[in-house]
Structure 1
Amino acid sequence: MANHVTVQELVDKVRLKVLQGNDYLNRTITTSDISRPALEFAGYFKHYPAMRIQLLGITEISFSKDLTHDQMTEYMTRMCTPQTPCFVISTNLPIPAELKQAAEDAKIPILGTHLTSSQILSNMTSYLLGRLAPRKSLHGVLVDISGVGVLITGDSGVGKSETALELVRRGHRLVADDRVEVYARDEQTLVGTAPAILQHLMEIRGIGIIDVSTLHGTGAIMPEDNINLIVHLETWTPDVKFDRLGDRGDNQTIQGVIVPKVSVPVKTGRNLAIIIESAAMNYRAETMGYDATKTFDENLNRLIKQNSARDSKEQGK
């Protein structure tokens, strides 16, 4: 988990302009919440969220013009605390003179953008949520299969990396091998990425470490991906019953996000890459409203009714 982001990183990733305070871009941001000052412009600071980025847009700047110079000087000075990471001004608006002086005195940078307040708020929140969200490290391999993020799990030595390598050879993309760092972007979206030390790398028993981007090109890798489906590889044994119809609806909850899960038995002669590829395509079909299991049940019920009607007809002769 990254417990902070520097203002410099925010400038680079969200494409903000530094209007003032180039020497203070090492200040840290510790929360993804962003404040749009309102009550502060009326002198109410009892619950001022000082540690948040302070975003000023058309509404805030327009209101500030109705304040006196002394009021603005007081309010801007009180907003510039040691915890305040930076100010962001949207829509290419000018910096109020009082804020310019107060921020310089407090060594707080002021950033700007041509985007509206709503647009830049969305961009900054999305970036900060991804960087500051709590992360969990999972043992597995994450592969993007035609737009479906598949997390392959299973015991060590079951064949996860070898299967992922075959999927890469079939045109799919590797995100992470062995360790997957996961975080919840929101209540319904789980994202996985590789630890920095393992990016683009895979460990294949008998060969060692290979660089996927070198061997298969940059089109064979992704920096991160949503985790849409979990495929658990499990060594086949006669006493274990595996789902044959796909109607159990297994799920796994990770970081508060529910992810569909299927278990695939590993047995000599099975092509796991093709099986996992089919599982991903089946997941995509289900999200588009097609349920193969439901179709099978309907066909079976129709056949039973037809046979029942035929038997009744024959008995009536």
Structure 2
Amino acid sequence: MDYVLLKDLIGEMNLEVVYLSDDVNKVKIFTTEISRPGLQMAGYYEKFVPDRVQILGSAEWHFLRDMEAEKRYATLDKFLSYPVPVIVVARNHQVFPELLELARKHGKTILRGNKSTSKLINDLVINLGLSLAPTETVHGVMMDVFGIGVLITGKSGVGKSETALDLITRGCRLVADDMVEIKRVEDTLRGTCPELIRYFLEIRGVGILDIERLYGVGAVKQFDYIDMVVELEAWEKGKEYDRMGLEEESVEILGISLPKVTIPVKPGRNIAMIVEVAAKNNRQKRLGYNAAEELDKRVRHSIEERRKAFDNRSEL
């Protein structure tokens, strides 16, 4: 999303509403950057960026407190004449009467938080970062497989939800079924589920299951970071499938490349167990150990040793 509506930010953040402007439903925030307008309180506006969330921390608050009432009014009047989206007062400081009066005059929303300025800025940056992050929705299942975020994809009816249910019974956690909302947060991909269908799982022949109620809160997770993609596809007779794992697949989502494993599905295969092993194997690769490469190295070493032994016998 290119912007965040101020009303949505207020709904997400646990902040006291001191004054709500009439156009709060229309005010948009386009950046994750936060400003502390200390220089503006001192009268310097040359490099002022007014479209950011503005926070009055302890330094700014005490600076304004020590001003005479008339000067404080003039200072805040000029500040609020700029198109600032919202002013947040940190540390539960008292809101100056002049600030409240001028907020009504200029139509600016005033919020207040009880946290320190740095913690408040951190919370706002995280919230705005998630809301403004590039987003993509994919059809699939998202699971936390013993600490590995696995996105399971495949055509409809291939068995993604059944595999997820089997993984849940093995101790894994459901993040999303059917629709996975993916956000790029810096260099990571964060997967979650639309709130409307969160923790519900559809099993053909059974119907809709509420996993949280059936298996408890330990069987679900609100979000997870995607470490790998597993694609399920119907087994095709005659098709060559990777048996060694030396040729690693990858898939790109929102500009980030992820390792991918393609698992052919046919009756008799325990797909959940294979997905679990694939996740654990992926973790080993991330830690620097690749079983396929290790076996290939041993085989090559064995062949080389045999070749040397043969050459030595030939010389004799």
- Superposition TM-score, scaled by structure 2 size: 0.85
Q: Residues of 1 paired with 2:165 and 2:273: CA distance?
A: 12
Is the contact made by 2:92 and 2:112 (CA closer than 8 Å) also made in structure 1? no
Aligned to 2:236: 237
Aligned to 2:138: 138
Aligned to 2:223: 224
Deviates more, 1:85-94 or 1:306-315: 85-94
CA drift of 1:142 comes to 0.7
Aligned to 1:158: 158
Deviates more, 1:190-199 or 1:144-153: 190-199
Task: Provide, for residues 42-74 of structure 1, a one-character-per-residue CA deviation record: whole Å limited to 9, x for no partner.
Answer: 545577544431112244445556866555433
Aligned to 2:109: 108
Aligned to 2:173: 173
What SS does the aligned partner of 1:178 have?
strand
User: Considering only aligned residues, what root-mean-square deviation do their CA atoms show, in Å?
Assistant: 3.0
What amino acid sits opposite 2:297 in the alignment? E
Q: Residues of 2 paired with 1:243 and 1:178: CA distance?
A: 27
What amino acid sits opposite 1:112 in the alignment? G
Between the two proteins, the alignment pairs up a number of residues equal to 313
What amino acid sits opposite 1:37 in the alignment? P
Aligned to 1:286: 285
Q: Residues of 2 paired with 1:92 and 1:298: CA distance?
A: 63
Q: Residues of 2 paired with 1:102 and 1:142: CA distance?
A: 49
Q: Residues of 1 paired with 2:172 and 2:13: CA distance?
A: 29
Aligned to 1:121: 121
What SS does the aligned partner of 2:185 have?
strand
Is the contact made by 1:135 and 1:181 (CA closer than 8 Å) also made in structure 2? yes
Q: Residues of 2 paired with 1:24 and 1:208: CA distance?
A: 46
Mapping for residues 1-317 of structure 1, pairs under 5 Å: 4-7=4-7, 10=9, 13-18=12-17, 20-21=18-19, 28-31=27-30, 32-43=32-43, 45=45, 48-61=48-61, 64=64, 72-80=72-80, 84-96=84-96, 98-105=98-105, 106-115=107-116, 117-186=117-186, 188-317=187-316
What SS does the aligned partner of 1:177 have?
strand
Is the contact made by 2:151 and 2:226 (CA closer than 8 Å) also made in structure 1? yes
Deviates more, 1:81-90 or 1:200-209: 81-90
Distance 1:193-1:114 versus aligned 2 partners, 3 A rule: closer
Distance 1:201-1:3 versus aligned 2 partners, 3 A rule: farther
Is the contact made by 2:20 and 2:109 (CA closer than 8 Å) also made in structure 1? no
Task: Provide, for residues 265-303 of structure 1, a one-character-per-residue CA deviation record: whole Å limited to 9, x for no partner.
Answer: 112221110110011111122222222233223222321
CA drift of 1:233 comes to 0.9
Percent of aligned pairs with the same residue? 36
Distance 1:234-1:121 versus aligned 2 partners, 3 A rule: same
What amino acid sits opposite 2:156 in the alignment? S
Deviates more, 1:235-244 or 1:75-84: 75-84
Q: Residues of 1 paired with 2:136 and 2:280: CA distance?
A: 27
CA drift of 1:21 comes to 2.3
Is the contact made by 1:4 and 1:30 (CA closer than 8 Å) also made in structure 2? yes
What amino acid sits opposite 1:108 in the alignment? T
Task: Provide, for residues 6-31 of structure 1, a one-character-per-residue CA deviation record: whole Å limited to 9, x for no partner.
Answer: 45x6456444345x327879555533
What SS does the aligned partner of 2:109 have?
coil
Q: Residues of 1 paired with 2:303 and 2:63: CA distance?
A: 74
Q: Residues of 2 paired with 1:260 and 1:72: CA distance?
A: 58
What amino acid sits opposite 1:21 in the alignment? Y
Task: Provide, for residues 154-205 of structure 1, a one-character-per-residue CA deviation record: whole Å limited to 9, x for no partner.
Answer: 111111111111001111111111111111122x111111123221111111
Q: Residues of 1 paired with 2:271 and 2:83: CA distance?
A: 52
What amino acid sits opposite 1:282 in the alignment? N
What SS does the aligned partner of 1:109 have?
strand
What amino acid sits opposite 2:140 in the alignment? G
What amino acid sits opposite 1:76 in the alignment? L
- Superposition TM-score, scaled by structure 1 size: 0.85
Q: Residues of 2 paired with 1:202 and 1:231: CA distance?
A: 18
Stretches of structure 1 lacking an aligned partner (at least 5 in a row): none
